[in-house]
Amino acid sequence: MPEQDVTVGQLLLAEYQSIKDEQKARIGFRDNLLYVTLAVVAAVIAAAAQAKQASMLLALPPVCVVLGWTYLVNDEKISAIGRYVRDDLGPRLAQLAQPGSDFAAFGWERAHRSDARRRSRKVIQCVVDLTAFCAVPLAALVLFWADGAGGGLLVTLSVLEALAVAGLGVQVVLYARPARTPA
């Protein structure tokens, strides 16, 4: 066998490095979406207050839904990468390294999930996500409705926006639930 041949183990390690790089990039992007959402919310509220136009608050729900959905999709992909490393890639590499043993490759991928406070962190993160991407735009809609200055078209739009925000809220909660392993 020539020296330049690539082994299965090298390929698996290269795949691991590649998907961990993707995971790291997605984590940075996902986390920045919260800051972007806060900045947009502050800008829209400031503009609406300065112009004394509650109808400007109608910009918040679609922006928060788009940013929230993007956040959620990236968060799911981050989790999917972790699952793939734990459940597929790690065991295949461990079998190559120690055939027939109970050696576990990439132990951190499992160890950090067994933290006693993990459940409370997940609940708090769900509340933060619901607040940033759902409660804030719903509050903007309530302020718009309380202002009473919107015409029929704007009220109809606001109801559709409320439905979109509620739909996102359902997805945030569904994605926050622990993944079930197939039977």
150-177 pLDDT per residue, tens: 789 999 999 999 999 999 999 999 999 8
Task: Reduce the DSSP state of residue 25 to 3 states and report it.
Answer: helix
Task: Categorize the per-residue pLDDT at 6 as very low, low, confident or very high, splitting at 50, 70 and 90.
Answer: confident
Instruction: Tell me the angle at which helices 152-176 and 136-147 cross, rounded to the nearest 10 degrees.
Output: 160
24 pLDDT higher than 90: yes
State the average pLDDT over residues 140-157: 92
State the average pLDDT over residues 24-48: 96
182 pLDDT higher than 60: no
Amino acid at position 174, single letter? L
Q: Which of 34, 37, 53, 64 is nearest to 138 (CA)?
A: 64
Q: Where are the domains of the chain?
A: 8-176
For the chain, what is the mean pLDDT?
91
End-to-end CA distance of the chain: 42
* Burial label, 5 (beta-carbon count in 10 A; 0-12, 13-18, 19+): exposed
